[in-house]
Structure formats: structure tokens, C-alpha cells
Structure 1
Amino acid sequence: MSDDSQTATNIERTQPNDADAERAVLGSMALARTAVLDVVDTLDGIKQPFYQPAHETIFNAMLALYANGQPLDPITLTNQLHQQGLLDKVGGRAYIHSLANSVPTAAHAGHYAEILRNLALLRAVISTGTDLVQMGFQARASHETAAQIVDTAAATLQELTAAAKGGNESREWMLDRVVDAVLDEYDNPRDDVLPLPWADLQSVAPMEPGDLVVIAGRPAMGKSLVLLGIGRHVAIKHRRGCLISSMEMSHVQMGQRLVAAEAHVPLHALRARTLSKEQYAHVRQARERIRRSPLRIDDTPAVPVSKWRRRLRQLQAKNELPAALIVDYLQIAKAEVKAHNRVIEVDSIAVGLKALAQEFKIVVIAAAQLNRVSEHRTDKTPTLSDLRESGGIENNANIVILLHREDYYDRESPRAGEFDFIVAKNRMGHNATVTTAWQGHYARIVDMEEA
């Protein structure tokens, strides 16, 4: 065995861990459901808090049971693991029953979890250091520059720092400081409200850092155009960073809509390559404006909240944190913990997006699908209750905007060409309906006076 391999083996054998503390955490959760919240809160943001793979498997199974409202007793847990074909891999029935006997009470679950948190962070430090050393040695073979490696190292260490602080930082504020902050804001108006391309909507529902904004509509109602319109306005016109996570359309499809809207040329002509010389000149000019903008598009499918968090931390480490994260769309994102009930998964995604908005002090805008109920109403107008697969979306959102076009259902409607933003929830303002102009052939929506 080489010296390097021997060193790696020694490091692996001496990884910080405490099997008794791991059993105590699991045993506490089995004794009392209330212990789950203490454990989850303490381990929040920690990757692989358990050193033993079997314990990690058991922990995930318990979280799934908890998410579905089921008991966490040894019998239910054993049945769950048996159905998943994992029971023998984690030690069998006898081991599962022994966990509940590993602690006399669940009262100290948070303390045991804190032990796991500290040990997991130490393992993460060791792993990070090893990875960075390997990256340094392999840089030439991987064609990475020193600057790229330093950026990766900084982002990784930033993530570790945030994980180490999370759970220990106090968020308490004295009332006098809260009042002072309100008056300071009044005397010095904020300039971080997200700029929108529609003036009336901007005045009715201003979007501020920390907000989760939900844009909801039926399929083909224009959700993607709304999101792209916001991203284009924020990044190209106002030169503020914007990250669009497009899980439904590819970056090429998003790019086609972006170019058509910015160049003010027909989308079908751009896709069919039938633009006139004048139109193509507009496209080339638009391309330069787009290339200079701080707009990013990620078309990775089925993204979990944790991936957005890692990406935002990387951008934060490089002082490139965007003003807005735009998600298209919420119901096809991936839940961190698989639950038997999709409603529970969607609710957890909404909670995670809200947490991102507050943690990074940015605006998170997420599209959401509405169910078919509105199509059975006489006027087809959607309401909050039409949000598909979730009550958590409505509960966690600061602003919910429903989209509606009468001519989608009736081409002869006297309101043909009009596009309604129905502000159905507005935590810091009033509800209203803002009417704009639909220009689908140009892949954009504009104020009525611009139509």
C-alpha cells in the first residue's frame, strides 16, 4: 500500500464519531415525537450528521414517518424499513427495538444532537481539506485555474462557516431597536425593492428582500413569460443579479423567449429562422445587452432547495449574490425528504424557499400550478383555493399573484389581448387586479400604455 493510501486509510479510521450519541438521538426520537423537532432544528444545515450509514438510513426513515404523521415506535419503524428492503441492512428488528432502550428519556435529545452536529462539522472540515488538497494537485489535469480553485475553496468554507454558526446565532431584537429600524427606513427610503416591468403591479405589490412571491396560473397561462419578464427587467434594464431556475424549459427555450422579448421580434420567426434583416439586427443588439447583464439561467431538472442554497452561498462568497431567485416551477421541485403524501412534500418546498429568501435577504419568486377548479366557474377567474397540491404555498408566501386571460377561454372576448395580475394575497398591502397587455407573439407582457 502506498504512503498516500495508508494516510487516507488512517484518516478514515480516525474520523470523529460517537456511536452512543447516534443511538441516543434515534432512541430519543423513538420515545417522543416532540424530540424530532429538537433534533431536526439542531442538525439543520448539516450534511450526513450520522457517521454510521445504518443510523443515517434509520434517521431518514423516521423523518419520513414523521412527515406523514405516523408514529415512530419500533414496530412502525421496523415495518417501514422492511417495506423499503432496508431492515436487514440496518441491523434487523432486534437492533431497532434496542434503540428505544438506549436512553431513559427523550428530554436530552437536543444535547445528543449537538454532539452529532459538532462531530459532523469536524468530519466536514477533514473532508473539505482533503478535497482541496486533491484539487490543488489535480489542477493541471482538470484544466482548472488557480482562481477557480480558490473560488471553490472560498464557497465551500463559506458553506461550512454558515453551517457552524447556524443553530447558535441569536435572532432576538429589543423592541426599541425594531422601532428605530422602522423610523430609519422611513427617513431613508429603501432602494432594494425589486424593480418590476409593470408600474401598477409595482405600486400594488412591491417585492422586498426576504419575500417569497408566488406567481400562479393554469398551464399555458403565461407563468414562464411573467418570470422571464421580471428577470429580464431586473438584470438587463437595472443591472441587478438574477438567477432563474428553469426546471420545465431548457436554457435554449428560455433563451429564445428572452431574445424575442428583448429584441421585440416575433418568437415564431426567431425559432423558424425567418427574421428580416432589420429584425436580425435588433437580435444582435439585444444579444449584446443580454450578454452584459448579470442574468443566470439554470435548467437542471427537479432541483431540491439544498442545491439552491449551495449555489447562493457560492455566489455570496464571490460578492455576486443575486437580487432575486426565480423558480419555474414550485410543484416540480424535489423534496428533501420523500413523503407518501405529495402535499407534504410541496409544503416543505414552500417552507424551504421562504427560508432562502430570509436567509440571503433576497426576493424568491416561484411559479405554481393551479388546479382545474377555476375552469368550471362561469368567469374562469382563479382564486387562492385553486393552488394545486398545497396549502403551505399560500401560508408561506408574502405575495400570491394569480394570472388570468379571458381570451384564453374565449377568443371573441371583448377583453382580448388583456392580461390580469390578480394580487390575491399581499401581506404588506392591499389586494387588487392589475391589467396589462398580452404580447405572446413577442414572448412578453407590457403595461397597457406600451401596447
Structure 2
Amino acid sequence: MENFDSKTSTLLIEKYLPHNFLSEKVILGNLLISNEALDITLRTLSVEAFYFKNHQIIYQTICTLHNTKKLINLTTLTNYLQEQGLLEKIGGVTVLIELINQVPNLVNLEEYLSLIQDKFIRRTLIKLGYQIINSSYVTNISLEQIILDLESELVLIGKKTETNQVLSSAELLSNVIQELKDKSNNITLPGISSGFYDLDALTQGFQKSDLIITAGRPSMGKTAFCLNVATNILKKNKLPILFFSLEMSKEQLMYRLLASETNINSTRLRAGNIKQSEWDILNSTVKRFSRLPLFIDDTPNISIIEMRKKIKKIRFEQQKLGLIIIDYLQLMENSNKNENRVQELSQITRGLKNIAREFNVPVIVLSQLSRNVENRINKRPILSDLRESGSIEQDADLVLMLYRDEYYNVETAEPNITELIISKHRNGPIGTAKIFFEGEYTKFKNLN
């Protein structure tokens, strides 16, 4: 195969890229005589959406005049372009007069805007295609990185196809009022209930697109808690849940789930020491959970790229997705091996936040706490105890920390009580909720 000539390709695509000259002229002409057209266009089109360079300069100038609250008409536009030395660059006053001579038709404004945006997105896709071809020839860029960059670009392009992304304050307030009316007529939580009442009272449920960090020292019950949350959501909402288990195998998780649901001692269950009277309970539990959409992936050291592929597959098959759980953060790997661990985790947490936003679901990520906790008299964790805490703190919408006092103090006044300490809450209060822990069954329950 011959090498791809990037210079030749660039010239070719620049010459034949999709555009609509008339639509661009009509829109710019409307902007010079109509405030209504100006408001709609500024919310819809970026400067790059215009294909012709002189049209980009004119539109950018109109935006500048608007942002500085100056009058926009043929005279002010001409004067500004002349002052900036741009008038001849756009083709002179003749080009501006031609814009005014275009017959403006506000009735068809949306159609013209749609045409310009359509051509812009098509140009972007074409350029991305050539970018992929060129990147594929550069062998020192990993295949994973090329795919990751491609997916990121496609997500951005997808967002450009959404209409009315930028709203005025009046439109935003109208939407908020409608949302409040809907909520006032709906007694359910705005988010997905965890099944733990005191926790839901603080969080209002797990919100879509949120990155939720669930942290704790070893043996605090992080995995058991998240598995309990998953089963609560499955039983109540039947929403598909994808559980990435990087530490435990699928089989180990299933034993935990069965112990929790059947109240059969987890040690006896793993040993196969099951009483005759317990088989009916066990069989009915297996039958019930076989019908629920719980998906477990135990690929070790999984990367963000692999994870995204599997999420897409499950969402495509199930048509929806309710929750993603990852156990745990410090076992994940980044495709870029040249970074130090702090930078690597920073990239991973940013990637997980992007996944939460891209798929519009809560993402619960388990995380280890540093040993600093053990050196304090008060062992309750705080935000700075998160290992490599900077990026985790920054990207997380909710940080939930598990603490059991009896782990450190056998004479505790609250045996079998687990504190769920909310140490960061981007959209709500911080505080502590308490739940009951039955270690024998690796099961959490509400206190009441």
C-alpha cells in the first residue's frame, strides 16, 4: 500500500468540503437588521460553522459588537472592520452591501441555520476521517490512544448536533420552573434510590451523570455495600447494572450476593455446607436473580477504552442502563504507560467522569484510603485520606466514606453500625447516615 499523502489530501478536502454559500449570506444579512435573528443565531452557530473565511470574520465581528453591547448595522460593522484592518480582507464594503441586499426571511431562519450546521458537522467528520488515517500511519502512537481520541472527538461532534445547547436565562428559568412543578407532583426521589433511607435523605438518590466515589480502609465493607446497593436497585427498578470487579471474580461476587439474599452464613455457603431446609430458599433466590439485569465483568487491570466498549455493548443490548459500579479505582490502568501513577489516576478519574456524562448514568467507583487514617486517634476518614486524592477530589460529584467503629474499638457503643460519611457533595449537603451491618451475611440494612 502506498503512503498516504497528507498534504495532497488536505488540499483536496479543503476544495471540496460541504458548504452552503447562500445560507451563510442570508444569515449574515439577517443579523444586520434583526435582533431576533441575532439572538437565535448566537445560540446556534459557532464562528467555525461558517465555511468561508470572510464570513467567519464578519460573524466574529458581529459577536464582538454584541458582547460589547454596541449597535449592529452596516455602518458600525464597516467602521469596526476598517479600524481593525479587516475590511479589505473580507472583500471590502461591496461584500457587506451584498449581504444587506439578500432578501431576509425570518420565517425560514431555522432552516438556514440547520443547513449551515449540517454542512459544518459534515466537514468536521470528513476532517476527522483523514485525521484517523494519518494517525494510523504513525506507529509510535498506540492503537488504544487513537481509538480513545476518536471516541472523544465523536462525542464532541455528537454534542454539536444537539440543538439549543446555549439557552437564555429566561429559557433556563422556564425549564427549571417546569422541573420543579414535575417534582412537586412526584413524591419519588429525583435520583435512583440506594435502598438506604438515611443516605437517600442526604443525596436525594444517585443522580445521572454523577461520579460517586465510595472509599474506605480494607475490610470496611466497600464491595458488600455497593453489591447491596446494586441488588436494592435491581429489585426495585429492574434497571440494568454493570459491575466491573477488578479484585474479585464473578463467582466470589455471586457467593456474596447469595449469602446476603438468603441469610445463609457466607463461610458455610462457600464450603457447600448447606442445610436441607436452605435449598428451597437458595433455589428461589437463584431463580429470582436470574431474571434481573445484573452484568458482572471481572477483567483485571481494565482500561477506560475497554470499559467504554463493554458499557456500549450492554446499553445496546438492554436499550438502557441504570448504574455502573467499578471495584476498584486503584486497580485500573491507563493506556499511557509513560505517566507517573498520580497522573495516570488523574486521567482515569477524568475518563470515568466522562463515562458518567456520556452515558448519563451514575458511576460508583470504589477507592482505597491511605494509611494516614491508622495514625490518628480519631480513625474516621476525611477527604484528604483518599489515595492520590487531588484528581479524585476534583472529579467526584459525591464522595462517600465507610467507617465501622467496632473495627478499631471492640468496646464501641455502636456495634454492627456502619457510618456512611458524605465528605463531598457537589449538589447537596454533607453529613453522615448510619446503617446496620450483618458481617455473617455480608449484608447491610436500614436501622429502622
Using structure 2 for the length normalisation, give the TM-score.
0.65
> How far has the Cα of 1:19 moved from its partner?
6.7
Distance 1:347 1:227 in 2: 23
Distance 1:115 1:439, change over 3 A: same
> How far has the Cα of 1:173 moved from its partner?
3.3
Q: Does 1:194 align with 2:192?
A: yes
Is the contact made by 2:155 and 2:358 (CA closer than 8 Å) also made in structure 1?
no
> How far has the Cα of 1:178 moved from its partner?
2.3
User: Which among 157, 163, 181 is matched to residue 175 of structure 2?
Assistant: 181
Query: RMSD over aligned Cα, in angstroms?
Result: 2.9
Moved more, 254-263 or 180-189: 180-189
Distance 2:283 2:132 in 1: 50
Residue by residue over 1:54-87, the C-alpha shift from the partner in whole angstroms, topping out at 9 and shown as x without a partner, is xxxxxxxxxxxxxxxxxxxxxxxxxxxxxxxxxx
SS at match of 2:242: strand
Residue by residue over 1:87-140, the C-alpha shift from the partner in whole angstroms, topping out at 9 and shown as x without a partner, is xxxxxxxxxxxxxxxxxxxxxxxxxx987622256799xxxxxxxxxxxxxxxx
Q: Percent identity?
A: 29
Distance 1:376 1:292 in 2: 46
Residue by residue over 1:299-352, the C-alpha shift from the partner in whole angstroms, topping out at 9 and shown as x without a partner, is 011111122222222233335331111000111111132243211111111111
Distance 1:165 1:439, change over 3 A: same
Which protein shows a greater Rg?
A: 2
Is the contact made by 1:215 and 1:400 (CA closer than 8 Å) also made in structure 2?
yes
> How far has the Cα of 1:177 moved from its partner?
3.0
> How far has the Cα of 1:160 moved from its partner?
11
> Aligned letter for 1:223?
K
Q: What does 1:263-412 align with in structure 2 at a 5 Å threshold? A: 263-412=262-411
> How far has the Cα of 1:298 moved from its partner?
0.5
Distance 1:17 1:166 in 2: 29
Is the contact made by 1:121 and 1:160 (CA closer than 8 Å) also made in structure 2?
no
> How far has the Cα of 1:437 moved from its partner?
0.7
Is the contact made by 2:6 and 2:134 (CA closer than 8 Å) also made in structure 1?
no
> How far has the Cα of 1:278 moved from its partner?
2.0
In the alignment, what sits opposite 2:55? none
Distance 2:207 2:238 in 1: 17
SS at match of 2:226: helix
Aligned length in residues: 315
Distance 2:315 2:5 in 1: 31
Q: What does 1:17-416 align with in structure 2 at a 5 Å threshold? A: 18=6, 117-120=128-131, 162=154, 165-166=157-158, 168-169=160-161, 171-189=165-183, 193-205=191-203, 206-416=205-415
Distance 1:411 1:302, change over 3 A: same
Distance 1:329 1:195, change over 3 A: same
In the alignment, what sits opposite 1:92? none
> Structure 2 regions of 5+ residues with no counterpart?
11-123, 136-150
Distance 1:13 1:313 in 2: 35
> Structure 1 regions of 5+ residues with no counterpart?
1-11, 23-112, 125-158
> Aligned letter for 1:349?
I
> Aligned letter for 1:173?
L
Distance 1:274 1:300 in 2: 29
Moved more, 190-199 or 419-428: 190-199
Is the contact made by 1:357 and 1:364 (CA closer than 8 Å) also made in structure 2?
yes
Is the contact made by 1:18 and 1:116 (CA closer than 8 Å) also made in structure 2?
no
Distance 1:308 1:175 in 2: 37
Distance 2:134 2:234 in 1: 39
> Aligned letter for 2:388?
E
Is the contact made by 2:242 and 2:311 (CA closer than 8 Å) also made in structure 1?
no
Distance 1:319 1:160 in 2: 23
> Aligned letter for 1:246?
S
Is the contact made by 2:268 and 2:274 (CA closer than 8 Å) also made in structure 1?
yes
